[in-house]
Amino acid sequence: MKATIDHDASSSTSAAPVREAGAAPGLLSGEALERRLEALMHQDRFAPPTRIVTAESVNEASLHARAEHDPDAFWAEQARTLDWDVPFTTVLDDSNPPFYKWFVDGKLNVSYNCLDRHVEAGRGDRVAFHWAGEEGERLAITYADLHRDVQRLANALKDADIGKGDVVGIYLPMIPEVVVAMLACARIGAPHNVVFGGFAPEAVKERMEVSNAKALITVDGARRKGKTAPVKAAVDEVMGDLESLETIVVVRHAGIDVPMTAGRDVFFDEIVANADPICAPEPMEAEHPLFILYSSGSTAKPKGIVHTTGGYLTGVSSTHRHVFDLDPERDVYFCSADVGWVTGHSYIVYGPLCNGATSVMYEGAPDYPHKGIWWELIERYGVSIFYTAPTAIRACMKWGAEHPNAHDLSSLRVLGSVGEPINPKAWLWYHVVVGRERCPIVDTWWQTETGQIMISPLPGLTETKPGSATFPLPGVVADVVDETTGESIEQGQGLLVLKRPWPGMLRTLYGDDERYVETYFSRFGNDTYLVGDAAIRDKEGYLWIVGRIDDVINVSGHRLSTAEVESAIVAHEKVAEAAVVAQSDELTGQAIVAFVTLQGELEGTPEIEGQIRDHVAAQIGKLARPKRILWSDDLPKTRSGKIMRRLLRDIAEGRALGDVTTLRDPTVMAALEQKIVTAQADER
């Protein structure tokens, strides 16, 4: 893609500029840091720092009060910050619960709101993304650049007979083209279906198949830590025969040769260069689907979560402004997630662009080319808002404070966390080492389904407690309820539910309304959304998310279903049966442990273990590979033949076994405990 090169592009990023410990005055490391963290462990609350200059929006302490008084009016007010081609007159249509509609008679175009209106207002020269490539490449991509490329790609897609309602798959790494691709789809009303680059082509195929994708936008190869993996060739191998797929667009990024099928495959740069430069944004109905994003649930079949246009854009832009106290004129925002997850959709692409923000986008891993790369980027671009995940913070803790300490992080003013509960130690480290005890931390709870942040502190307002996501945002009604009666629990643990529709909520599961109702609304009725997390409400009303109540494992903030991993393992020819459970893990939060029974008389060996792990990587992706495989001749089952995962979890965690009286064959557990060979798998 064409873009302006940063002025200082000549200096290299490859050497790790690690200063001697203690070189920068006032920065803690080693024992002094440990002592400071230990002291803060006893501090149970942190006042919102007054030094943080807040944007006007958040300064208004009345935000909560206004929303509570009239949530519809609050959301309507947020929606009116967007540009509508046809203004809405209805805010929430709840005539057919749980199929809620927002702003239903309004029309707007998402790409117009993310690009054209900024360009038209004379802000075309503003940088949308400072893109940093793995090998030190730098691009400054302005709103005008995106505006130009999105229109051309949108026209090229139209030329390829892709129009409103046609699903377009996107399987790309963290490169500027992924943003262009998403916005080009939005411009013409083609719902995109982005698949995280870390998923295997097999998983991409499944997602393309079930969503009937008409086109796929992918890349020649993906770079990761100095290596290049062929992507297009791998896509061809598994997807060559997918009938619905009429077009494959290939971004030339890694510079490797790729097989191209005439009549189906085209190069991104060529079709963009040949396309008409003007593509008028088509007004879309507010409820027109913007994208589908597959996420793991309780069964082996991933759920196609459907988000629509007006409500989603309202939800993500408004929360991005409020939760991060965004001032688009001054702030530089950096979200370290991948665009392939909902965090990337909502808080790298749609929220920030709709708000006219300047962001940093990094192609690589947090430890490549060195373990200080994030801090180097923060210093280089003067990042003021940083949003990452607890698992990443724990990895940084392990690498040591000398990496952040070696950089000037004084531009930072708000820090965010998302993906899993953040443990107090990681929270404090983030606060002390990264935030230098000046920056509020917003621990943001939400889900692929919610589309937008739901529970979070507001940085200039909320007193925080390390490990608590604090309170629902304005316009959001959350509750902790008894799991059987559904009654509100004033203090203590129960199920987290959402009691009022919100604009960014999922509208259904793609092609499966029934599963939508069944998964989220069958427990407590059509007006109570079942989150799937347990939570505690403390005596001051703070919410503490405990974790999933279903068979979903959260590895490094990524959702995986036990059933999906089991089915991948069982598909291996040597495997007879498998059961997958979560085990707590210091780095990744949870790790996957698989209990595997092999066929016939086969004995478990490190070689078979390796084959099974490779097999899972090929079926789902590397992130789904079990950390440990435990060979077992038999698995504990109830009399009706259901595997008792609870007992397997006890074994995996090394706990005393719970109640075994319902087992069909109680001797299985004894045998299992004896037979366990704990083969510690290599790093993910």
Of 423 and 567, the one with the shorter C-beta distance to ligand WT7 is 423
The tokens describing 460, both together, are 């200039």
Stretch that binds ligand WT7, among 45-53, 138-146, 263-271, 528-536 (CB under 6 A): 528-536
418 binds ligand WT7 (CB under 6 A): yes
Stretch that binds ligand WT7, among 62-70, 168-176, 437-445, 506-514 (CB under 6 A): 437-445
Radius of gyration for the alpha carbons in the chain, expressed in angstroms and rounded: 25
Q: One-letter amino acid identity for 17? A: P
Of 245 and 316, the one with the shorter C-beta distance to ligand WT7 is 316
311 binds ligand WT7 (CB under 6 A): no
Q: Using CB under 6 A, which of 109, 155, 318, 444 touches ligand WT7?
A: 444
Of 375 and 445, the one with the shorter C-beta distance to ligand WT7 is 445
171 binds ligand WT7 (CB under 6 A): no
Indicate the pairing of strand 508-509 with strand 303-308: antiparallel
Applying CB under 6 A, the site for ligand WT7 has a residue count of 23
198 binds ligand WT7 (CB under 6 A): no
Q: What angle do CA 625, 608, 601 make, to 5 degrees?
A: 130
196 binds ligand WT7 (CB under 6 A): no
448 binds ligand WT7 (CB under 6 A): yes
Indicate the pairing of strand 192-194 with strand 168-170: parallel
394 binds ligand WT7 (CB under 6 A): no
Q: Using CB under 6 A, which of 356, 369, 419, 604 touches ligand WT7?
A: 419
Of 433 and 560, the one with the shorter C-beta distance to ligand WT7 is 560
With beta carbons less than 8 A apart as the criterion, state whether 131 and 2 touch: no
343 binds ligand WT7 (CB under 6 A): yes
**What gap in Å lies between CA 234 and CA 258, rounded to an integer?**
10
CB of 448 to ligand WT7, least distance (A): 3
Which are the contacts of 176, defined by CB distance < 8 A and separation ≥ 6?
Answer: 1, 3, 129, 131, 139, 141, 361
With beta carbons less than 8 A apart as the criterion, state whether 143 and 115 touch: yes
SS3 sequence, 532-552? EEEEEECCCCCEEEEEECCCE
58 binds ligand WT7 (CB under 6 A): no
With beta carbons less than 8 A apart as the criterion, state whether 537 and 489 touch: yes
Indicate the pairing of strand 385-388 with strand 332-335: parallel
509 binds ligand WT7 (CB under 6 A): no
CB of 346 to ligand WT7, least distance (A): 8
CB of 170 to ligand WT7, least distance (A): 18
Q: Using CB under 6 A, which of 532, 589, 621, 626 touches ligand WT7?
A: 532
Of 402 and 443, the one with the shorter C-beta distance to ligand WT7 is 443
**What gap in Å lies between CA 430 and CA 585, rounded to an integer?**
19
Q: Within 10 A of 194 (CB to CB), how many other CB atoms are there? A: 28
What's phi and psi for 576, nearest 5 deg? -95, -45
With beta carbons less than 8 A apart as the criterion, state whether 536 and 543 touch: yes
With beta carbons less than 8 A apart as the criterion, state whether 78 and 318 touch: yes
Of 112 and 386, the one with the shorter C-beta distance to ligand WT7 is 386
Task: Name the maximum alpha-carbon separation found in the chain.
Answer: 74
Stretch that binds ligand WT7, among 73-81, 199-207, 378-386, 444-452 (CB under 6 A): 444-452
Of 234 and 624, the one with the shorter C-beta distance to ligand WT7 is 624
Burial of 641 (0-12, 13-18, 19+ CB in 10 A): exposed
Q: Using CB under 6 A, which of 140, 415, 545, 553 touches ligand WT7?
A: 545
Q: What does DSSP assign to residue 287?
A: T
Considering only residues 554 to 593 of the shown chain, the ones binding ligand WT7 according to CB under 6 A are: 554, 557, 559
CB of 554 to ligand WT7, least distance (A): 6
Of 13 and 561, the one with the shorter C-beta distance to ligand WT7 is 561
Of 124 and 302, the one with the shorter C-beta distance to ligand WT7 is 302
Q: What does DSSP assign to residue 12?
A: -
446 binds ligand WT7 (CB under 6 A): yes
CB of 485 to ligand WT7, least distance (A): 22
CB of 420 to ligand WT7, least distance (A): 5
The tokens describing 63, both together, are 């935000």
Could you write out the DSSP letters of every residue in 399-448?
A: H-THHHHTS--TT--EEEEESSPPPHHHHHHIIIIISTTTS-EEEEB--T
Which x/- pattern, by CB under 6 A, does the window 450-469 give for ligand WT7? Answer: -------------------x
Q: Using CB under 6 A, which of 143, 427, 445, 471 touches ligand WT7?
A: 445
Which are the contacts of 7, defined by CB distance < 8 A and separation ≥ 6?
Answer: none
Burial of 413 (0-12, 13-18, 19+ CB in 10 A): buried
342 binds ligand WT7 (CB under 6 A): yes
443 binds ligand WT7 (CB under 6 A): yes
**What gap in Å lies between CA 162 and CA 175, rounded to an integer?**
23
Q: Using CB under 6 A, which of 142, 211, 447, 519 touches ligand WT7?
A: 447
Stretch that binds ligand WT7, among 27-35, 525-533, 622-630, 632-640 (CB under 6 A): 525-533
CB of 607 to ligand WT7, least distance (A): 33
Give kind and range of the element (H or E) at residue 628: strand 628-631
CB of 467 to ligand WT7, least distance (A): 9
548 binds ligand WT7 (CB under 6 A): yes
**CA dihedral in degrees (666, 669, 671, 677; nearest 10)?**
170
Detail the DSSP E strand segments found in 4-100.
Answer: 92-93
**What gap in Å lies between CA 653 and CA 582, rounded to an integer?**
9
CB of 347 to ligand WT7, least distance (A): 9
The tokens describing 11, both together, are 């200096």
Q: Using CB under 6 A, which of 166, 331, 420, 566 touches ligand WT7?
A: 420
Q: Within 10 A of 521 (CB to CB), how many other CB atoms are there? A: 17
Stretch that binds ligand WT7, among 139-147, 401-409, 438-446, 653-661 (CB under 6 A): 438-446
Considering only residues 267 to 306 of the shown chain, the ones binding ligand WT7 according to CB under 6 A are: 295
504 binds ligand WT7 (CB under 6 A): no
Q: One-letter amino acid identity for 682? A: D
How many C-alpha atoms does 674 have within 13 Å on its Cβ side? 7
Q: One-letter amino acid identity for 134? A: E
Q: Using CB under 6 A, which of 533, 551, 566, 650 touches ligand WT7?
A: 533
**What gap in Å lies between CA 24 and CA 5, rounded to an integer?**
31
Kindly list the residues in this chain that would bind ligand WT7 in the complex (CB under 6 A): 295, 342-343, 418-421, 443-448, 469, 531-533, 545, 547-548, 554, 557, 559
